[in-house]
A and B are shown apart, each in its own frame.
Chain A
């Protein structure tokens, strides 16, 4: 709310170092190791990644909303089971939507669609936000986590389908070679490892550029201040 007010009053938005770190350190899959089951095992084609993203959106956001509203009436040892059962309620429309978009999705994904009900992303977000913080903040965090998941799932699906089958959304693409390692969970884990390392490198690079710029801006201001005094 304060950020929106500052924007409206034309004040320069100062992104603190902590704020920048939080924004860049957003990937739940690549930095925290959540939601590895669907991404490593099932996101070996773009269609699978799209279907999983749709179902994850249906499962994650309404579940967080409902849990945030009923958290006071939940007995603590029952929080995790409650999250899984509430998620199932919203899984039904999600599954129907995914089936409408891609009819053969049950045979393609098998057990990995219902495994989203016990996904670590849902449980961690529920533990950290839904049971502790305000509804608005929980939904924001949930949206950012979902965006992070969708990005990694689509990237994994794109790379693994190209490298593993030489197709994109089922359409053949002419490539000199393909490797079935990309379709296996082994290939998924290795690709995620390199993506995580790449994400860290990018984050580190952006952080260094930002720190250098703010350092230069600070020196300029100090010089101006000294000149003004003189």
Chain B
């Protein structure tokens, strides 16, 4: 039950994009093919889910409070680096060359994105149980995927509309994301704890 609650909280109430603005450059990129987008979102979800368990374990280690603010980001970065290496070698070995070449640029961006690092840091900073940590990681990845999909559909519609000249491109997209974030704020009602 607490797994489900943590997952739904991370996906909707504390959505990575709409409550914490954990966007990356890839959220705007038009050049991404569906396969690249799927690999990006899948990798983010996998990393946040799997590494949340490791971060839960790291949180339980005794660390001086003064060093926590430095030790946690370092641990998260090292974990992401390790997972990225493993996934890279697995993909290089098992995927066809053409497909691997296409996702090569996407993989590091997925591993070292704000949402991946941000979710691991959040799991480390809260007193979650193991089930809650895994649920939070999974929900964060799923919520990020939902947010990216909503924004990409909206962006496609915006590309076809006759926007005023100063608002064409990035400004209209930013306002679109802002209004979506306002809509999702109805679920939480107060600024999220950083």
Chain A residues with a Cβ under 8 A of chain B: 30-34, 36-37, 40-42, 77, 79-81, 84-85, 88, 91-92, 95, 106, 108-115, 117-120, 123-124, 180-181, 183-190, 192-194, 196-198, 200-201, 204
Q: A37-B114, A111-B118, A118-B112 are in contact. Are A186 and B185 (CB under 8 A)?
A: yes
Identify which of A33, A181, A200 contacts B25 (C-beta below 8 A): A33
Which of B4-12, B51-59, B70-78, B135-143 contacts its partner?
B70-78
Identify which of B72, B112, B114, B181 contacts A80 (C-beta below 8 A): B112
Chain A positions within 8 Å of B178 at CB level = 185-190, 192-193
In this complex, the interface size class of chain B, counting residues with CB under 8 Å from chain A, is 35 or more
Chain B positions within 8 Å of A111 at CB level = 20, 118, 121-122, 125, 194
Q: A184-B185, A186-B181 are in contact. Are A194 and B114 (CB under 8 A)?
A: no
Is B167 in contact with A197, judged by CB distance below 8 angstroms? Answer: yes
- In the complex, A193 Cα to B179 Cα: how many Å? 11
Chain A positions within 8 Å of B171 at CB level = 193-194, 196-197, 200
In the complex, number of A-B residue pairs with CB atoms less than 8 Å apart: 149
- In the complex, A6 Cα to B24 Cα: how many Å? 41
Is A41 in contact with B20, judged by CB distance below 8 angstroms? Answer: yes
Q: A42-B194, A120-B24, A186-B182 are in contact. Are A85 and B174 (CB under 8 A)?
A: no
Measured CB to CB, the closest approach of chain B to A127, in angstroms, equals 10
Identify 17 new A-B residue pairs, CB closer than 8 A, beyond the known A36-B21, A110-B125, A123-B112.
Answer: A33-B25, A34-B25, A37-B22, A37-B23, A80-B108, A84-B81, A88-B73, A111-B118, A111-B121, A114-B72, A115-B121, A180-B191, A185-B18, A189-B181, A190-B178, A193-B172, A200-B166
- In the complex, A88 Cα to B122 Cα: how many Å? 18
Chain B positions within 8 Å of A30 at CB level = 170
- In the complex, A109 Cα to B193 Cα: how many Å? 10
Closest to B124 in A: A111
Chain A positions within 8 Å of B121 at CB level = 111, 114-115
A-B contact pairs, 7 of them (CB 8 A): A77-B104, A81-B108, A185-B21, A188-B178, A197-B166, A197-B167, A198-B166
- In the complex, A197 Cα to B171 Cα: how many Å? 6
- In the complex, A33 Cα to B155 Cα: how many Å? 14
Chain A positions within 8 Å of B108 at CB level = 77, 79-81
Chain B positions within 8 Å of A81 at CB level = 80-81, 84, 108, 111-112
Identify which of A36, A114, A186, A204 contacts B73 (C-beta below 8 A): A114
Identify which of A85, A110, A123, A189 contacts B194 (C-beta below 8 A): A110
- In the complex, A95 Cα to B66 Cα: how many Å? 12
Q: Nearest 9 A-B pairs (CB), nearest first? A: A110-B194, A189-B178, A193-B174, A114-B73, A41-B21, A186-B181, A190-B178, A193-B175, A80-B108
Identify which of B77, B118, B166 contacts A88 (C-beta below 8 A): B77
